[in-house]
Amino acid sequence: MKRKKKIISVVGARPNFMKLAPIELELQKHKNLFTHLIVHTGQHYDYRLSSIFFRDLNLPQPHIFLGAGSGTHAEQTAKIMTEFENVVLKEKPDLVIVFGDINSTIACALVCSKIHYNSGTLPLAHVEAGLRSFDRTMPEEINRIVTDSLSEILFITEPVGVKNLLAEGIDKKKMYLVGDTMIDSLIYYRSKFESSKILNKLGLNKQNYLISTIHRPVNVDNKNNFNKIISILNSTAKTAQNYNPDTKIVLPIHPRTLKMAEKFSLLKKLKGIKNLITVEPLGYTDFIKLLMDSILVITDSGGIQEEATFLKIPCLTLRNTFERQDTINLGTNSLCGLDERIVINKLTEIYKGKYKKGKIPQLMDGKASRRIVNVLKNAL
């Protein structure tokens, strides 16, 4: 009988969990072939950024928890590397899967690339490979470039990823254009979202509110930019209330955003925006339910641009660069930078029914994880 192959999936922060969940489900269908261990680095440790997602996504508790926590980039990356090296030396996996572009991703990729097995280094698969913003001031961009260059198997979410990787001289044989496992989660858990009571809890009605999420260092770690965002939210609230005076803006506040708002003494100004409801970060079920029933979302998150495209909710992205091309060329996403005028123009288009309706990209079909596990079956 063939030996079962051991796969370790590494997750660390909020956006990783919904990318992992459908792969875990798919691997469970092939228990005879694979043993799957989940390692949580502990990059995110708050209940609202971590455990709540395991609950909402019915994920098993992580088999191994590294407890890395926060720190500077070097501290956080180094701590994860040290802990993860012990894990792979002990567990001797046949393959490690890393997700997205966070510090946990690059840290574990570096560890794998320096562990030597008889036939070479420990094989690494990267889920969400090939995305590039071409902005090297973003920590995520460095994490993506390094992780992709170290991966044996590249699972790509959208066609531009293939182009980006080819331009970096990466071998086409390593690339698999499989689609987006985050959207697999959205499709798989669809019935669960209806059970959420979040609208009631926040006193909202369908289509009488907008959502906003802001946490990128470039936006919140810089006082000038943070001020511009407050001004954008303020004008947005006023413009929206011209169309419907009851319109609310819901802002789940990320810990980084809260910390910086306090540091810059901007919290009062932020909370002073009329009809703004600030809440703690939301779990998966509540957040998606809120997104589904909203008028639009204003964000700097990567994942939300994809989720909004799939749900056909208009998405105004407060960034100057983008990596998820399909969400802009096909989907409901528009890049606005921190330009208030652009945001208000788009908002007006949305209210007048003139905003683009968006098409769902072909690979957002709920089958990415199945494709991934099929590749793994052949590769291992």
Residues identified as active-site: 215
Write 231-237 long-range contacts (CB < 8 A, 24+). 231/340, 232/298, 232/318, 232/338, 232/340, 232/343, 233/270, 233/273, 233/276, 233/298, 234/273, 234/274, 235/340, 235/343, 235/344, 236/210, 236/298, 236/343, 236/344, 236/347, 237/273, 237/274, 237/275, 237/276
Residues 213-272 that bind ligand UD1 (CB under 6 A): 215, 254-256, 259
Residues 49-78 that bind ligand UD1 (CB under 6 A): 49, 70
Encoding tokens for residue 348?
């007006």
Rank residues 50 and 369 by Cβ distance to ligand UD1 and give the closer one: 50
Rank residues 247 and 301 by Cβ distance to ligand UD1 and give the closer one: 301
Taking the complex as a whole, the smallest distance from the CB of residue 5 to ligand UD1 amounts, in Å, to 28
Taking the complex as a whole, the smallest distance from the CB of residue 107 to ligand UD1 amounts, in Å, to 9
Binding mask 118-157 for ligand UD1 (x = CB under 6 A): ---------------------xx-----------------
Taking the complex as a whole, the smallest distance from the CB of residue 352 to ligand UD1 amounts, in Å, to 32
Residues 164-223 that bind ligand UD1 (CB under 6 A): 215
Residues 79-118 that bind ligand UD1 (CB under 6 A): 101-103
d(C-alpha 303, C-alpha 306), whole Å: 5
d(C-alpha 373, C-alpha 28), whole Å: 10
Encoding tokens for residue 111?
């560890």
Is residue 4 close enough to count as binding ligand UD1 by CB under 6 A? no
Residue choice 7, 9, 14, 109 for contact with ligand UD1 (CB under 6 A):
14
Residues 298-337 that bind ligand UD1 (CB under 6 A): none
Point out which span in 37-45, 148-156, 184-192, 240-248 binds ligand UD1 (CB under 6 A). 37-45
Taking the complex as a whole, the smallest distance from the CB of residue 370 to ligand UD1 amounts, in Å, to 26
Q: How many residues make up the chain in this entry?
A: 380
Question: What are the φ and ψ backbone dihedral angles of 376, each rounded to 5 degrees?
Answer: -65, -35
Rank residues 17 and 34 by Cβ distance to ligand UD1 and give the closer one: 17
Taking the complex as a whole, the smallest distance from the CB of residue 221 to ligand UD1 amounts, in Å, to 9
Write 271-276 long-range contacts (CB < 8 A, 24+). 273/230, 273/233, 273/234, 273/237, 273/249, 274/234, 274/237, 274/238, 274/241, 275/237, 275/241, 275/246, 275/247, 275/248, 275/249, 276/233, 276/237, 276/248, 276/249, 276/251
Number of residues near ligand UD1 (by CB under 6 A): 19
Residue choice 31, 46, 206, 262 for contact with ligand UD1 (CB under 6 A):
46
Taking the complex as a whole, the smallest distance from the CB of residue 147 to ligand UD1 amounts, in Å, to 12
HSE value, Cβ hemisphere, 13 Å, CA-based, for 36: 25
Q: Write out the residues near ligand UD1 by the rule CB under 6 A.
A: 13-15, 43-46, 49, 70, 101-103, 139-140, 215, 254-256, 259
